[in-house]
């Protein structure tokens, strides 16, 4: 450590806190001094808050009023790379450093004293008397080498009562000790052999291993169809990273995927890694945070916010399904975890692996520009072949009203049911029906707080607003004309398709996979396991089925409405449809039986549908890139979305108008302002929303211009301004 990185007692230091202030605060270093990066507790008004020592204090005022740091917390200091990353990420996303620090300290009880608990391990002596129960306890302890267990863990694993363990403690055969509650994670062993890789897997793995051994920053797109072994390949990269003594982070887009993945890590490295996502208990979160900071968690598997964990020496970040839109955090600090992963890696000399069967256009463009490396896995592992894909032209199909499964699709499902194989029917729409209309007056039931129609959820027997989550019972009478018994559902959601499937196939076992139908991630996971084990003949699912689950007996995928994503003005509509359809189709034929994917469409000639069917993804990307280049939009131009919102529409429009007129700071860097216009969803939770769109050439540093521009107008109290750099969605 440099001398200037340590502050002696009484020295003036700047402490960055998580409080919403626009700067660090000055304090005096505590007794014993403190290092830059140390986590500290400081007095702020009547409270004590957590902060990080950021550097020397500013001074320049009445120094007698500067208060002292209360204490230095017993956690590893924040590294310089992490501080630099937080500052840069905050600058880039226009997020205050205090909010960035909050992301980086989202573990409860960091300030608390180290709490202890009793743990049990093998003692030095043999028990005086051996029983079956005692033998089982000792076997567990021997099997796990030097590991220690809590009383309940040990007795459960041995299948004995706790008194058996206590009895062994008395004899000295088991020792009882106090240990900190936050225990290190079991060591993963990178030297264990992985699967025998195929030639192209082995070549990709070797390239990644070499890149990681070089211990330098870089990013690699790992592209391969679902089932080609991308996971096997990047586990080799994880192994190399562990062998280098560095930490690895694997980001997954969906909590439901983590369990399957943890099991795979355990099989490969002999122990389970740390987990970080919203389904993890508070105690586990704190343990994970602390152990990551001490280097005592070698691998973390987690959601996007795991990027902000205090890794000591991060050597690899894998972003699995990197194209997934859930990597974009859509409230609070707006960031794209894929981009932040690259940024973070650049500060700590780590390699980033962006894995996907259908990479984002952003990543593809970075490869084309020579910024990222590229590795391809071209075939599926083993005998599995890619599914055959074709369109069902809905203009030629005879369908009664309020029916969506074409006779052609029905025929194919019938064959699968007869053969004992599984079919997946895909529709990316939760609920029973997207619209409820009154047949007497034409009124459509909307949300009281949002400019959105309410979606009927028949399992819950309620109408739900997908914007704000508001629910209400399905009324008897039309809220507009009061006529009773005339409300009717229009259009399909997965629940309605399930009803149709049950009518068409009364003897088949039907399962619906939709995120809202399961109370917990665990319940959803259990359902997925049941299905994978053959517990359903026909699966009806929303986009959660598109994400990586393995259903070996699935041989048919039917897409109810392949045109769904093509409507709408979103600049990524085509890309999203392409990715989603390819991912869903990839669910079929993952084992030895060949798969078939059928897309119901009214526009089989649409270029996107044709690209999906032909499997020519390079062609699709090239065409899509040309269009975006011509329009000057991402990834070939820059966008920032600005949303103003408030309870009073005229006020919000007024502020937006002022901002649009005072575009000098933006024009100075060559950026243009479009709008104001009502946002596509013009009201959410009772707040009116007005949008401006800022467009600039690639490489223009728009952040500073945006900051100056927004600062010109003082916002009324109840008006909120939100700037989204590189927006993913445009609602
Ligand atoms: P992806 O991540 O590309 O979807 P996976 O790595 O999950 O592919 O591989 C798909 C399936 O094939 C998994 O069950 C995996 O264990 C298996 N697999 C892939 N490569 C191999 C290999 N070389 N040896 C044995 N099994 C493999
Ligand atoms: Zn609503």
Domain with 592 in it: what CATH number?
3.40.50.300
615 and 649 together in one domain? no
How far does the centroid of ligand 1 lie from the alpha carbon of residue 486, in Å? Answer: 53
Residues ≥6 apart with Cβ < 8 Å to 316: 212, 237, 238, 241, 246, 248, 249, 350, 351, 352, 353
Residue 443 lies inside a defined structural domain of this protein = no
- Check residue 307 and give its pLDDT: 95
Ligand nearest to the CA of 469: 2
pLDDT at 122: 87
For residue 282 the two structure tokens come to: 């508070």
The pLDDT of residue 391: 94
Ligand nearest to the CA of 205: 1
Residue 529: predicted pLDDT: 86
Nearest atom of ligand 1 to the alpha carbon of 195: 24
Q: What is the pLDDT of residue 517?
A: 75
Residue 435 half-sphere exposure toward CB, CA atoms < 13 A: 9
Pocket of ligand 1 (CB under 6 A): 195-198, 201, 224, 226-232, 381
Q: Whose CA is nearest to atom 6 of ligand 1?
A: 229
Q: What CATH number does the domain containing 679 carry?
A: 3.30.70.600
**Sign for the pseudo-dihedral over CA of 626, 627, 632, 636:** negative
Count of domains forming the chain? 5
Q: Ligand 2 centroid vs 456 CA: distance in angstroms?
A: 13
Q: What is the CA(628)–ligand 2 centre distance, in A?
A: 33
358 alpha carbon, closest ligand:
1
Cα(348) to ligand 1 centroid in Å equals 30
Q: Which ligand is nearest to the CA of 551?
A: 1
The answer to the question of residue 135 being in a domain is yes
Q: Which residue has the least CA distance to atom 18 on ligand 1? A: 229
Which atom of ligand 1 is nearest to 224's Cα? Answer: 3
* Separation of first and last alpha carbons in the chain: 49
CATH of residue 127's domain is 1.10.10
Q: At 73, which CATH number?
A: 3.40.1440.60
Residues 144 and 99 in one domain: no
Residue 133 lies in a domain: yes
Does residue 458 sit within a domain? no
Residues 565 and 585 both lie in one domain: yes
Pocket residue to mutate for ligand 1, from 229, 354, 554, 595, most atoms within 8 A of Cβ: 229
By residue range, what is the domain housing residue 527? 388-429+492-624
Sheet with 637-646, side-by-side order of all strands: 672-684, 687-697, 637-646, 720-725
Whether residue 664 sits in one domain with residue 717 = yes
Q: Which of 565, 595, 624 is the last residue of a domain?
A: 624
Closest ligand 1 atom, residue 197 Cα: 23
CA 731 – ligand 2 centroid, Å: 13
Domain boundary among 561, 590, 624: 624
Contact 430, 455 (CB under 8 A): yes
If one residue of 227, 253, 261, 532 were mutated to test the ligand 1 pocket, choosing by the most ligand atoms within 8 A of its CB, it would be 227
- Peptide bond between residue 676 and the one before it cis (omega within 30 degrees of 0): yes
User: Are residues 368 and 392 located together in one domain of the fold?
Assistant: no
Which atom of ligand 1 is closest in space to residue 225's alpha carbon? 3
- Cβ atoms of residues 406 and 600 within 8 Å: yes
Query: Could you tell me the two tokens for 347?
Result: 């500060």
Same domain, 369 and 225: yes
Q: What is the mean pLDDT of each run of 10 residues along the chain (731 residues)?
A: 77 93 90 94 91 89 85 91 95 92 85 71 85 89 73 85 91 84 85 91 97 97 89 96 97 81 92 88 86 93 94 97 86 86 96 95 94 90 74 94 94 95 90 92 90 87 85 90 92 94 95 80 81 92 75 89 77 83 77 83 89 84 88 89 92 93 93 88 88 90 92 92 84 65
Atom 26 of ligand 1, residue of closest alpha carbon: 195
Residues 599, 669 within the same domain: no
**Does 218 lie in the same domain as 269?**
yes
29 falls within a domain: yes
The protein residue whose alpha carbon is closest to atom 24 in ligand 1 is 195
496 and 417 fall within a common domain: yes
Do residues 237 and 351 make contact, with C-beta atoms less than 8 angstroms apart?
yes
Ligand 2 centre to CA of 457 (Å) is: 15
C-alpha 195 to ligand 1 mean position (Å): 9
Pick from 103, 131, 153: which residue ends a domain?
A: 103
247 lies in the same domain as 308? yes
CA of 454 to the centre of ligand 2 (A): 8
Return the pLDDT at 730.
Answer: 66
Q: What is the pLDDT of residue 692?
A: 92
Residue 238 within a domain: yes
Which protein residue has the closest C-alpha to ligand 1 atom 11? 227
Which residue CA neighbors atom 25 of ligand 1 most closely? 195
pLDDT for 332: 72
The verdict on residue 697 lying in a domain is: yes
Q: Identify whether residues 127 and 10 lie together within a single domain.
A: no
Same domain, 665 and 609: no
Q: How far is the CA of 452 from the centre of ligand 2 (A)?
A: 6
Cα–Cα distance between 533 and 259 in angstroms, integer? 16
Q: Is residue 445 part of a domain?
A: no
Q: Please report which ligand is nearest the Cα atom of 463.
A: 2
Find the 325 Cα to ligand 2 centroid distance in Å: 22
- DSSP secondary structure letters along 123-157: -SSPPSS--HHHHHHHHHHHHTTT--B-HHHHHHH
Q: Which ligand is nearest to the CA of 452?
A: 2
């Amino acid at each position: 450590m440099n001398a200037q990185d340590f502050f002696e007692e009484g020295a003036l230091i700047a402490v960055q806190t998580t409080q919403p202030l626009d700067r660090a605060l000055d304090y005096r270093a505590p007794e014993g001094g403190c290092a830059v990066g140390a986590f500290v507790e400081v007095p702020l008004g009547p409270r004590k808050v957590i902060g990080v020592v950021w550097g020397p204090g500013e001074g320049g005022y009445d120094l007698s009023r500067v208060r002292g740091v209360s204490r230095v917390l017993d956690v590893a200091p924040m590294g310089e790379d992490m501080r630099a990353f937080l500052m840069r990420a905050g600058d880039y996303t226009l997020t205050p450093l205090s909010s960035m620090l909050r992301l980086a300290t989202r573990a409860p009880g960091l300030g608390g004293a180290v709490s202890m608990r009793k743990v049990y391990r093998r003692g030095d002596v043999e028990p005086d008397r051996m029983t079956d129960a005692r033998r089982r306890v000792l076997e567990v302890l021997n099997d796990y080498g030097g590991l220690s267990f809590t009383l309940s863990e040990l007795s459960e694993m041995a299948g004995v009562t706790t008194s058996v363990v206590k009895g062994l403690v008395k004899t000295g055969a088991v020792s009882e000790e106090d240990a900190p509650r936050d225990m290190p994670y079991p060591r993963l062993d990178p030297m264990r052999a992985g699967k025998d890789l195929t030639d192209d897997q082995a070549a990709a793995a070797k390239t990644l291993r070499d890149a990681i051994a070089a211990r330098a920053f870089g990013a690699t797109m790992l592209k391969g169809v679902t089932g080609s072994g991308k996971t096997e390949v990047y586990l080799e990269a994880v192994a190399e990273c562990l062998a280098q003594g560095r930490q690895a982070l694997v980001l997954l887009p969906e909590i439901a995927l983590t369990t399957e993945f943890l099991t795979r890590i355990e099989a490969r490295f002999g122990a389970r890694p740390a987990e970080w996502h919203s389904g993890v208990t508070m105690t586990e979160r704190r343990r994970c945070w602390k152990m990551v900071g001490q280097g005592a968690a070698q691998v973390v598997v987690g959601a996007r916010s795991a990027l902000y964990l205090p890794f000591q020496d991060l050597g690899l970040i894998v972003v699995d399904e990197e194209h997934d839109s859930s990597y974009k955090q859509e409230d609070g600090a707006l960031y794209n975890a894929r981009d932040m992963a690259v940024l973070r890696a650049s500060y700590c000399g780590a390699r980033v692996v962006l894995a996907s069967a259908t990479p984002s256009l952003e990543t593809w463009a970075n490869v084309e520009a020579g910024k990222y490396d590229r590795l391809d896995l071209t075939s599926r592992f083993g005998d599995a072949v890619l599914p055959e894909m074709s369109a069902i032209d809905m203009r030629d199909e005879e369908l009664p009203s309020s029916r969506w499964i074409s006779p052609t699709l029905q025929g194919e499902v019938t064959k699968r049911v007869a053969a004992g194989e599984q079919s997946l029917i895909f529709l990316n729409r939760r609920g029973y029906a997207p619209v409820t209309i009154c047949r007497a007056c034409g009124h459509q039931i909307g949300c009281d707080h949002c400019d959105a129609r309410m979606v009927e959820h028949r399992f819950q027997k309620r109408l739900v607003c997908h914007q704000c989550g508001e629910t209400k019972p399905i009324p008897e009478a039309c809220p507009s004309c009061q006529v009773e018994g005339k409300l009717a559902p229009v259009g399909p959601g997965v629940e309605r398709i399930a009803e149709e499937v049950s009518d068409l196939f009364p003897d088949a076992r039907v399962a619906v996979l939709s995120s809202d139908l399961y109370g917990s991630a665990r319940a959803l996971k259990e359902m997925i396991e049941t299905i994978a084990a053959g517990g359903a003949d026909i699966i009806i699912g929303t986009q959660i089925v598109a994400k990586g689950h393995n259903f070996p007996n699935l041989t048919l995928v039917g897409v109810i409405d392949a045109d769904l994503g093509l409507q709408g003005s979103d600049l990524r509509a085509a890309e999203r449809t392409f990715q989603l359809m390819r991912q869903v189709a990839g669910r079929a034929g993952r084992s030895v039986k060949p798969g078939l994917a059928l897309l119901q469409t009214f526009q089989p000639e649409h270029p996107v549908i044709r690209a999906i069917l032909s499997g020519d993804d390079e062609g699709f990307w090239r065409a899509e890139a040309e269009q975006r280049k011509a329009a000057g939009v991402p990834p070939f131009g820059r966008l920032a979305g600005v949303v103003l919102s408030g309870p009073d529409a005229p006020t919000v429009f007024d502020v937006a108008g002022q901002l649009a007129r005072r575009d000098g700071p933006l024009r100075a860097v060559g950026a243009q302002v479009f709008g104001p216009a009502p946002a596509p969803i013009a009201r959410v939770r009772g707040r009116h929303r007005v949008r401006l769109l800022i467009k600039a050439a690639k490489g223009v540093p728009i952040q500073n211009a945006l900051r100056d521009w927004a600062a010109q107008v003082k916002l009324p109290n109840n008006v909120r301004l939100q700037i989204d750099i590189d927006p993913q969605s445009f609602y």
